[in-house]
Amino acid sequence: MQETPTVFQRRIVIGAGVCVAAFLLVGLRLVDVTLLSGGGKAGGAGSAAVARADLTDRNGELLARDLPVKDLYARPKEFWDKAEAARLLAEATGAGEARLLRGFNTAKTPYVLVARQITPDAEARVMKLGLPGLEFENTAKRYYPGGRMTAQLVGTTDPDNNGLSGLELGLQPQLHRAAARGETAVAASIDARVQFILAHEVAESRKTFSARAAGGIVMDVKTGEIIAMTSQPDFDPNQRGLPEGDSRRNMMAQDVYELGSIFKIFAFTLAIEDHTVRLDEMLPIGRSFKIGKHSIGESHHMPAAMAARDVLAESSNIGTAQIALRSGGVRQREFLTRLGLLSPVKSELPETARPLYPRTQWGAIETATVGFGHGVGVSPLSFVTSMATVVNGGRRIAPTFVKQEQGADNRGAQVIKPETSATMRDLLRYVVTNGTGRNGDAIGYDVGGKTGSAEMPGSRGGYIKNALMTSFAAVFPAHDPRYIVMVLMAQPRGTKESFGFRTAGYTAAPQTGRVIARIAPLLGVPHLPPPARVADGRAL
């Protein structure tokens, strides 16, 4: 005979049933949160933001930082009136009313994204609405204190805090690892003070000469560190939109140009390295120089004959073509390859560009034109890197955007002889004291450099009439190089102050001199007293 359960036993069974039901409810809620709710929030909106460490300049100044913000989600089934809810939420957050209403009516998941990375003010407005079914999710938004000043260089992230461009993309693994280890920041090679000066001077000159675009680079010739880089037009990295006239493109790293006469540096370096020319040797110039059916001319009047050093100082195409032909196309191509000019430059910056050069035929006319910077296109960053090798004692260098240790010397293999490098430094100083680079000098800082004024190629072949790409590449101090400064201007126009001239000596060179005069003290470059002079003007 089966015994009737006691009251105590029945209570145990009831209690066990309640516990099972409670566990089931908890389990269902976990499924809802982790699978249904989570999947709804992720649907089309991405996953939670991954933490990134701060990005700072070499002195600890902030370039980029995560700021805590919130994403707003809604559960449409909770709304009494979906149309009214869409209208109110759109007014409070700035989201599109039509998108919200469409999402509320067609949602296949419990949650619909209302707005991402809303401000505290917007959060307060949403809370005042008193609508049911709203949830805030903590996330992060990248903030850029430098704004436009560092825009293309630092880059941006997407709404999920993944790097999209610039150092935000190139240094992303380091930023993630630093955050995971609890480290506060990753230090870039950039000096915010120098960056501000370079960006300011380039912007002012672009405005003065009504240039279509302009940019600049400052590089340490021994460590390869990029101290500053600017590209204009720029954009505001703190805003998602891109107003008309702004640009996210970094012209100094991801565009290639026929740089013209500054490329003559390499023709002279090769000639000096191979002893195919003497600097005091007289070269015939004339009005034109023929190579087969092609004729090479000058951009301005030249004497009938010039010493080789004056060919560079006065930027003679005809003289440089003759010097390049002595080297020959095979040797010229091999030399430019060793300098790294015929391959994309590699660095932490993801933006890069493939150079343009004669790939099938490299004959006499190609050798001559490449010698004075036509028929070959490289990025400004690639040019500066190769110029650094020329002036730093002849040793290979690679650009880096990460701060190096104090006293670091990252120079690699010997590409040219040290004595060739020394001769080129003297020659570049001569260009500034006696040639087209006079307006680029900064008294007391021993500047050496080269001007370049190249015709700009058109989209349909040929060249654009009266359109120049002007540049000035300078090294200082020339006797013991520490930094290179290069500035570039696309299609500048002459002004009253430049006597109507729009060539590099009147546009790019003066702004480079101003940049050097302002940044040299900050970089610890000693100011040299001007040379003493006797009554007839000769230096003692």
Q: Which residues are catalytic?
A: 261
**Beta bridge mates, 62:** 56
**What are the φ and ψ backbone dihedral angles of 468, each rounded to 5 degrees?**
-120, 150
**What are the φ and ψ backbone dihedral angles of 310, each rounded to 5 degrees?**
-80, -20
Assign 1 to helix, strand or coil: coil
Assign 52 to helix, strand or coil: coil
Tally helices (H) and strands (E) across the chain.
18, 14
Assign 20 to helix, strand or coil: helix
Task: Enter the tokens of residue 267.
Answer: 């023709």
CB 212, CB 489: distance < 8 Å: no
Task: Enter the tokens of residue 258.
Answer: 């026929």
The C-alpha atoms of residue 392 and residue 389 are separated, in whole angstroms, by 5
Q: Is 279 exposed, middle or buried (0-12, 13-18, 19+ CB in 10 A)?
A: middle
Phi/psi class of residue 199: alpha, beta or left (left: φ > 0; alpha: ψ in -120 to 50)?
Answer: alpha
User: How far are the Cα atoms of 2, 235, 428 from residue 189, in angstroms, in the given order?
Assistant: 86, 22, 27
CB 216, CB 485: distance < 8 Å: yes
H helix intervals, 239-371: 251-254, 264-274, 308-313, 317-327, 329-339, 364-371
Q: Dihedral of CA 175/178/184/187: which sign?
A: negative
**What are the φ and ψ backbone dihedral angles of 271, each rounded to 5 degrees?**
-65, -40
Place of tokens 């565009």: 255
Assign 468 to helix, strand or coil: strand
